[in-house]
Amino acid sequence: MLTYAADRLWEEAAYVAYYLHWPLDSILDLEHPVRQQVIEEIGRIHRAQAGD
């Protein structure tokens, strides 16, 4: 069984928590593809706000 790297998981959790202020349990409960989609959307919004 392949596991997701713990350091990458923490990086993703911190990113979502920082921008959305979600509790850690809620972030960790997300399936990986959903969490990735949330991260991509946060990045898109952040870039749009920055004018990039």
Instruction: For residue 1, tell me if it sits in a domain.
Output: no
Report the alpha-carbon distance of residue 47 to residue 2 in Å, rounded: 32
Rounded to 10 deg, the angle between the 6-20 and 32-50 helix axes is 50
Residue span of the structural domain in which 32 resides: 6-50
Report the alpha-carbon distance of residue 42 to residue 38 in Å, rounded: 6
What's the pLDDT tens digit per position in 16-34? 999 999 999 999 999 999 9
Instruction: For residue 27, tell me if it sits in a domain.
Output: yes
pLDDT for residue 26: 96
Number of domains in the chain: 1
Instruction: For residue 36, tell me if it sits in a domain.
Output: yes
Instruction: For residue 32, tell me if it sits in a domain.
Output: yes
What pTM did the predictor assign? 0.80
